[in-house]
Structure 1
Amino acid sequence: MPSNAPSFGELLGATQRSAVHLEMRDSYAATERFEAWRRGERIDWANQASWWHPYDQLIADTVARGVTVRRARIVSEPVSEYIRWEHYVTHANVTAGEQVRWLPRRAATGLSLPGNDFWLFDGALLRVHHFSGDGAVVEDEMMDEPAVAQLCATAFEKVWELATPHEQFKL
């Protein structure tokens, strides 16, 4: 299904204040980087040039413009293998300037949450991620309905308030 979403770079380029991302799945489609990690390959974090990707630079540039970028992940415990890998590679997100927090799913029971992962830009524009059952992206849908944006903003802030900063979250 075709996506009506502008590129992520375009969306961040137009963002003036904040970009927040809520992730709620315990696994996503496998990537080569994930498969390499599963084989025991590890990143030499001291050699930034070996792991710095265009995404990292985009985040760094966005944060340098004064935009706050936050990511919250709701995870089941014990965590899945995929989440262990995500926790490991989050070092890159944090180095690029993202603030990242983790919330055990059991602590989210009392929260009203949207049905899909999303990015929310400046509290008004949503990029909603639709995934297949195996975690592959099916479509990214753009939405700017104020009530939906507010629901997602409120959900994100509640998760953020309860979640543990990346540096303190132990698997």
Structure 2
Amino acid sequence: MKLLQGEALDDLIRRSQREAFHLELKDDYESPAGDEPYRNWLAGGPADDYAWFQGWLTLVRDFIARGAVMRRVRVVTVPLTDYQRWMLEITEKNVDAGEQVRYLPRHLADSGRLTTDDWWLLDDETVVFTTFEEDGRFAGAAVTHDPRIVAYCQEVRDYVWSAAVPYAEYVALQTR
């Protein structure tokens, strides 16, 4: 496996031709760019201008504009953590940029059909495991093209995608 750091993961996603799929399994993440907006949101502060998020949204828009597909499934604990409630609000920006996002409540998932780590599946040929420090901060990404790992992640992707609820439906369920 090759270890990527810094912007190398975004560059690898950018170079994907057909599809980028992301599986997220953690209920909390730390991000140097998002820490202050998250703390502000927790404190009930003014609306965020999302300037810190624009680089990612541009990547998504550019990716979608060339005909590729970006999908994400978040497996979440219910009730949602504060972090996941914040992410639920932010995800509207991802969806507006063209990313397809679904949510799968952890208690409804078949845990035997999930992996234990977050990862990206790129063009059905590359798996990128995202790694995190103990405090939750992104540490880097491990890349593999091993056909057995790719096939396994394809199976997991197909399962979680079919079991998960599209973003708009999930938001509607949260407001009931």
Show CA shifts across 1:46-68 (max 9, x none). x8x86760110110010000100
Q: After TM superposition, where is structure 1 displaced by more than 6 Å over at least 4 residues in a row? A: none
> In 2 relative to 1, CA 40–148 (structure 1 residues): closer, same or farther, beyond 3 Å?
same
> In 2 relative to 1, CA 123–42 (structure 1 residues): closer, same or farther, beyond 3 Å?
farther
Q: Which residue of 2 aligns with 1:74?
A: 75
CA distance in 2, matches of 1:38, 1:58: 27
When the two structures are superposed, what TM-score results if normalisation uses the length of structure 1?
0.88
Displacement of 1:3:
3.7
Gaps (5+ residues) in structure 1?
A: none
CA distance in 2, matches of 1:112, 1:128: 17
Q: Percent identity over the alignment?
A: 32
CA distance in 2, matches of 1:148, 1:69: 20
> In 2 relative to 1, CA 27–110 (structure 1 residues): closer, same or farther, beyond 3 Å?
closer
When the two structures are superposed, what TM-score results if normalisation uses the length of structure 2?
0.85
Q: Which residue of 1 aligns with 2:93?
A: 92
**Alignment: residue pair count:** 167
Conserved 8 A contact 1:43-1:51: no
Alignment of 1:83-122 (within 5 A): 83-109=84-110, 111-122=112-123
Gaps (5+ residues) in structure 2?
A: none
Greater fraction helix: 2
Conserved 8 A contact 1:113-1:152: no
Conserved 8 A contact 2:9-2:141: no
Q: Which residue of 1 aligns with 2:37?
A: 33
CA distance in 1, matches of 2:87, 2:103: 11
- Tell me the amino acid that sits aligned with residue 41 of structure 1: G
CA distance in 1, matches of 2:77, 2:123: 29
